[in-house]
Every structure is written in structure tokens, then in C-alpha cells.
């Protein structure tokens, strides 16, 4: 997960916030749904809110972070602040993200209010994602929550990001002995990624690897 800077509620959704909950959700309107997905896609810069895989504007799922089935979150069911896009399940038994989480609740969520979530996540070279406290690690690993290590292709894809980036960085280090120049290039790479309109798939992995190099190269 990486943090998502949520925008204010779009005007086309604001009108539904105060309607009785027994009224059909506005997302059932195809025009509103398309518009909502487009806004969330831009906000998340093209990545699933949970696993950080690439999503498209059309092929995704509107996810309620705090489950709408839970009575204590009934007031959030139509709140833009509680909505993100997640990837669609590819089939098979290894479900993840929204498909495995279903109506269960996460302890950590990828919103700017909880921006420290990235600080508590690390990645092993084999692509394993690890939460550095019990609650976050359970969120990431439980088959009843995000199950991000229980799906072979997600772990493989994260491993490939790590390997490819390490090759690029190590080659650059071999050719440039000036540590200041190396740090500047790494900082530039990190800055460009964060500011991009569309992020690299598994962007959190890329950021983690770069930051680990920056800790060493001083």
C-alpha cells in the first residue's frame, strides 16, 4: 500500500450524502459510476489501492474501505473519503484485495490521514511484503483481509520490480563513484515517481528499494 491523497467530495456526489440510506446508491447510475471511477483512477494514479497493481479506468472495483455492511459505518457508505478503486480478481483460488477482504475491516488504510502506513511496510528480495507491526502484518497477509503474499503472481511481480531496479542502480553505482551524484540521481528517480500522473506498478516497492539505497549511500 501507498498513501492516497483524497480530494474533496465531487459535486456530483455531494448531493447524495444526506439522502436516506434506503435510497439506492448513486453508483448504480452508469454515468455517475463512470465519472466516479475516472476520478478515483486519477487520484490513485492508475494503481489498485491495496496491491498497487495496474488497473484501468473501466476494469476495476469500487471499494468501501470501511465496510458499508457494518452499521457503525453506515454514514460512510456514500462518502467519497471512504471510496477507492481496487483490482478485479483474476480467477482461481488465490483471492486478494477487495475479493478476499469482503466486508472485513482493515486496521490500516492507504489514505493520507494514515500516511505513516508506508513507513511500516518493507519488502524482502523474494517479493514478500511485511508489515512491521502485528496489526499491519495481519492486514497484509490474512486470507480474510488483503492476502498480498498468498497470491503467487503478486509476489513474483514485486520480486521482479526489486531485481530490475537493483540491476539499474548497481550498474549506475559501478559507473559513478561520486556518492553525491549517485544520491542526487536516486532522489531524482524517487521524486519523479512520486510526482508522476501515472505511477509505476508496485510503486511502493520501487520507493522502498530507493530509500534503502539512500540509507547506505551518504
Assess if residue 3 is contained within a domain: no
Q: Which residue range is the domain that position 73 belongs to?
A: 11-118
Domain boundary among 59, 90, 118: 118
167 and 206 inside one domain: yes
Q: How confident is the model at residue 22 (pLDDT cuts 50, 70, 90)?
A: very low
Kindly report, residue by residue over 139-193, the tens digit of the pLDDT.
999 989 999 999 889 999 999 999 999 999 999 988 888 899 999 999 999 999 9
- Band of residue 84 on the pLDDT scale cut at 50, 70, 90: very high
- Residue 23 pLDDT > 60: no
Task: Write the pLDDT tens digit of every residue in 86-106.
Answer: 998 766 667 999 999 988 888
pLDDT given at position 44: 95
Angle, vertex CA 106, rays to CA 97 and CA 32, nearest 5: 60
Same domain, 188 and 97: no
**pLDDT value at residue 72:** 67
pLDDT number for residue 112: 58
d(CA 191, CA 88): 29
Residue 67 clears pLDDT 60, i.e. is over it: yes
Total domain count, the chain = 2
**Residue 1 lies inside a defined structural domain of this protein:** no
φ, ψ for residue 11, nearest 5 deg: -60, -35
Q: Is 111 in the same domain as 206?
A: no
What is the structure's pLDDT at 21?
46
Shared-domain flag, residues 53 and 138: no
Task: Give pTM, 2 decimals.
Answer: 0.88
pLDDT for the residue 96: 93
The whole-number pLDDT of residue 2 equals 87
Confidence of residue 114 (pLDDT cuts 50, 70, 90): low
| Strand runs labelled E in 47-162 | 61-64, 83-86, 121-123, 129-131
Whether 159 and 101 share a structural domain:
no
Flag whether 110 is in a domain.
yes
Same domain, 109 and 138: no
What pLDDT is attached to residue 91? 61
Among 184, 208, 207, CA closest to 194: 207
Same domain assignment for residues 100 and 165? no
Q: Is 181 helix (H, G, I), strand (E, B) or coil?
A: helix
Amino acid at each position: 500500500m501507498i498513501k492516497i491523497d483524497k480530494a474533496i467530495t465531487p459535486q456530483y456526489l455531494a448531493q447524495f450524502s444526506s439522502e436516506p440510506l434506503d435510497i439506492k446508491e448513486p453508483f448504480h447510475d452508469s454515468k455517475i459510476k463512470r465519472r466516479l471511477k475516472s476520478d478515483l483512477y486519477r487520484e490513485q494514479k492508475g494503481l489498485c489501492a491495496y496491491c498497487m497493481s495496474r488497473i484501468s479506468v473501466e476494469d476495476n472495483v469500487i471499494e468501501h474501505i470501511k465496510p458499508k455492511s457494518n452499521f457503525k459505518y453506515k454514514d460512510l457508505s456514500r462518502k467519497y473519503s471512504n471510496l477507492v478503486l481496487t483490482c478485479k480478481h483474476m480467477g482461481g483460488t488465490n483471492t486478494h484485495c477487495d475479493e478476499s477482504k469482503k466486508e472485513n475491516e482493515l486496521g490500516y488504510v492507504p489514505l493520507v490521514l494514515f500516511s505513516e502506513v508506508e513507513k511500516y511496510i518493507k519488502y524482502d528480495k523474494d517479493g514478500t511484503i511485511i508489515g512491521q507491526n502485528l496489526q499491519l502484518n495481519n492486514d497484509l497477509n490474512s486470507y480474510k483481509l488483503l492476502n498480498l503474499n498468498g497470491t503467487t503472481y503478486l509476489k513474483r511481480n514485486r520480486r521482479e520490480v526489486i531485481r530490475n531496479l537493483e540491476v539499474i542502480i548497481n550498474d549506475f553505482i559501478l559507473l559513478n563513484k561520486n556518492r553525491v551524484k549517485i544520491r542526487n540521481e536516486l532522489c531524482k528517480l524517487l521524486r519523479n515517481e512520486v510526482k508522476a500522473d501515472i505511477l509505476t506498478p508496485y510503486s511502493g516497492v520501487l520507493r522502498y528499494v530507493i530509500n534503502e539505497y539512500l540509507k547506505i549511500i551518504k
